[in-house]
Amino acid sequence: EIRKLLVLPGDHIGPEIIAEALKILAVLEEELPNFKVQISYGLIGGASLDKTGSAITDEVLETAVASDAVLLGSVGGPEWAHVPGALSPEKGILHLRQRLDAFANIRPCRFYASSLLNQSPLKPEIAAGVDFVLVRENCGGAYFGTKTEFEDEARTEVERCARVSAALARTFGRGKNTDDKSPAIVWNADKANVLASGRFWRTVTHDIFEREFPDIELHDQLADSMAMVMVKAPTKFNGVIHTDNTFGDILSDISGGIVGSLGVLPSASVCGVPGSEKPVKGIYEAVHGSAPDISGTGQANPIAQILSLAMLLRYSFSMPRQADLLEDAVRKTLEVREHGGLGIRTKDLGGSASTQDVGDAVAFQFRTL
Ligand code: NAI
Ligand code: MG
């Protein structure tokens, strides 16, 4: 079967790191005779603005609708700082998310190589072993357009997001160092103590877990206290964090701060429940921006984009084994030699390798695994 992939390289380092992720797809095509990807390319962000006057065109949006997944580079830069907000490069991403109804944003918080631990601003004994994935409702809540109080619509929004959190908890399990195969704990973060919307979020979340996922342990944590505990004892939340758009925005940035290096943080925005019968469509992008300060210098770290591709393989192409292998290849590439790795890292991680060196090393490791 042929997979359809839309690649939107974006601006500045976007195309540089996308090129490295595509090397992995080339390896897959060589190694797996039955694996075929049909890649379309499109413009987004400043590149699209310059050429078409819009940050993403309807044609690109319709190609996205017809694709199985979108691999997205980062957008923006000082060249477009003067354009009015409604036309900003970042609007391209928002339009894409809305057009695809990519309602759940998934951000893992873990150290993909133990050598990354020293990038964390937290003490190693506090940060070591942190392994959670944050699921943020992406298309509703306080951030979006018309305010409605139609309960049914809001209920559906919370429910479908809860189903994503539950599905991830099922595959996540209780962690690598245990034989316990029960689903991961889901931590629900809200402010049910002061917000009516928070009480609604909590009620609907509990309803759906009781009805559809009685086997999954669900705990509530107030979002502000979660922010504090996340810094003091982040391993407490190992498992899945389920939260709304606003708190998810803030908590996911804190979780990024725990890992410490922007260049290694991947993300996925999915349009359905992963792990169900059908693969889900999604948008896969690094958490960081277009890094105009280093574009063209060969210093951009491609790891966040490559790990985003691993998420794409896992959720949109139903290739969890290859996703695991790709994460292993990343670990081997970044890990110091004393721990059996190659120690190949870009400048942001204290190394001296180029974007291409890192991409080539991951592709090589991936091929040999
Ligand atoms: P940024 O994330 O692009 O860069 C912040 C700092 O981290 C810079 O010093 C940069 O060199 C470094 N950095 C980021 N990614 C890196 C990587 N892969 N390897 C090595 N170093 C890396 O954030 P900034 O500078 O605030 O924004 C730059 C542009 O990106 C702006 O136009 C902003 O609006 C846009 N942006 C786009 C996003 C997206 O496409 N999703 C998200 C955030 C910002
Ligand atoms: Mg944010």
Cα separation, 362 vs 369, in Å, equals 11
Q: Which ligand 1 atom minimizes the distance to the CA of 302?
A: 18
Q: How many Å lie between the centroid of ligand 1 and the Cα of residue 353? A: 19
Nearest CA to 70 out of 10, 28, 13 is that of 10
> How far, in Å, CA of 22 to CA of 363, rounded?
10
ipTM of the prediction:
0.97
From the alpha carbon of 80, which atom of ligand 1 is closest? 32
Task: Say whether both 251 and 264 belong to one domain.
Answer: no
Which domain, by its residues, includes 166?
121-257
224 annotated active-site? yes
Q: Is residue 85 part of a domain?
A: yes
6 beta partners? 40, 70
Beta-sheet pairing, 218-222 with 186-190: parallel
Amino acid at site 137: E
275 and 358 part of one domain: yes
Could you tell me if 42 and 57 lie in one domain? yes
**Index of the ligand 1 atom closest to the CA of residue 304:** 18
How far apart CA 71 and CA 316 sit, in angstroms, is 11
Say if residue 249 is in the same domain as residue 281: no
Residue 27 lies in a domain: yes
Catalytic residue among 50, 58, 143, 215: 143
Q: Residue 100 domain-assigned?
A: yes
**Cα(358)–Cα(367) distance, integer angstroms:** 14
Q: How far apart are the C-alpha atoms of 90 and 289, rounded to whole Å?
A: 10
Q: Of 195, 229, 257, at which residue does a domain stop?
A: 257
Task: Mark whether 143 is an active-site residue.
Answer: yes
Distance from Cα 20 to the centre of ligand 2, integer Å: 25
Give a yes or no: residue 115 inside a domain: no
- Of 21, 24, 55, 62, nearest to 40 by C-alpha is 62
Q: What are phi and psi of 138, to 5 degrees?
A: -115, -15
**DSSP-derived 3-state class of residue 37:** strand
Structure tokens at 167: 């599905």
Residues 169/239, Cβ–Cβ less than 8 Å = yes
**3, 317 Cβ separation under 8 angstroms:** yes
92 and 159 part of one domain: no
pLDDT at 87: 84
Name the residue of 262, 299, 303, 347 whose CB sits within 8 Å of the most ligand 1 atoms, as the mutation to test its pocket: 262
Q: Relative to the alpha carbon of 255, which ligand is closest?
A: 2
How many C-beta atoms surround the C-beta of residue 117 within 10 A?
18
Q: Which residues contact 290 (CB under 8 A, 6 or more apart)?
A: 10, 11, 12, 13, 14, 45, 73, 74, 75, 76, 77
Q: Looking at residue 197, which CATH number applies to its domain?
A: 3.40.718.10
What are 360's two structure tokens?
């080539």
Distance from residue 285's CA to the centre of ligand 1 (Å): 12
- Cα(240) to ligand 1 centroid in Å equals 26
Of 207, 231, 257, the domain-final residue:
257
pLDDT of residue 275: 82
DSSP 276: S
Do 201 and 275 lie in one domain? The reply is no
**Residue 249 annotated among the catalytic residues of the structure:** yes
CA 12 – ligand 1 centroid, Å:
9
How many CB atoms are closer than 10 A to CB 147? 6
- Residue 45 and residue 96 in contact, taking contact as beta carbons nearer than 8 Å: no
338 in helix, strand or coil? helix
DSSP 143: G
Domain assignment present for 15: yes
Same domain, 99 and 161: no
Atom number of ligand 1 nearest to Cα 45? 40
Note the pLDDT of residue 149: 61
Query: Do 245 and 125 fall into the same domain?
Result: yes
Q: Give which of 254, 252, 234, 253 is closest to 243, Cα–Cα.
A: 252
In sequence order, the 6+-apart residues with CB closer than 8 A to the CB of 253 are none
Cα–ligand 2 centroid distance for 83 (angstroms) = 21
Q: Which residues line ligand 1 at a C-beta cut-off of 6 Å?
A: 13, 74-77, 90, 93, 262-263, 285, 288-294, 300-301, 304, 348
Single out the catalytic residue among 58, 101, 253, 293: 253
Catalytic residue among 191, 324, 347, 360: 191
Alpha carbon distance 96, 70 (integer Å):
10
The one-digit pLDDT tens for each residue of the chain (369 residues) are 899 999 999 999 999 999 999 999 999 999 999 999 999 999 999 999 999 999 999 999 999 999 999 999 999 999 999 988 778 999 999 999 999 999 999 999 999 999 999 999 999 999 999 999 999 998 877 776 565 666 777 889 999 999 999 999 998 887 666 777 888 999 999 999 999 999 999 999 999 999 999 999 999 999 999 999 999 999 999 999 999 999 999 999 999 999 999 999 999 999 999 987 789 999 999 999 999 999 999 999 999 999 999 999 999 999 999 999 999 999 999 999 999 999 999 999 999 999 999 999 999 999 987
Nearest CA to ligand 1 atom 1: 289
Q: Is residue 83 part of a domain?
A: yes
For residues 133 and 190, membership in a common domain is answered with: yes
* Pair 243, 346 in one domain: no
Is 315 inside a domain boundary?
yes
Selection from 178, 100, 172 nearest residue 134 by Cα? 172
Is the Cα torsion angle 144, 149, 152, 155 positive or negative in sign? positive
148 domain-assigned: yes
Query: Residue 247: nearest ligand to its CA?
Result: 2
Whose CA is closest to atom 37 on ligand 1? Answer: 289
Residue where a domain stops, chosen among 203, 238, 257? 257
Centroid of ligand 1 to alpha carbon of 37 (angstroms): 29
Number of domains in the chain: 2
Could you say which of 4, 207, 236, 249 is catalytic? 249
Q: What's the rounded Cα separation, in Å, for the pair 319 and 283?
A: 16
- In the numeric block, the tokens 């709304």 are attached to 244
Chain centroid to Cα 169, Å, comes to: 16
With vertex at residue 166, the alpha carbon angle to CA 261 and CA 267, rounded to the nearest 5 degrees, is 25
Please indicate, yes or no, whether residues 340 and 225 belong to a single structural domain of this protein. Answer: no
Protein residue whose Cα sits closest to atom 34 of ligand 1: 76
Query: Exactly one of 50, 215, 224, 293 is catalytic; which is it?
Result: 224
288 closest CA partner among 48, 14, 3: 14
**Together in a domain, 287 and 354:** yes
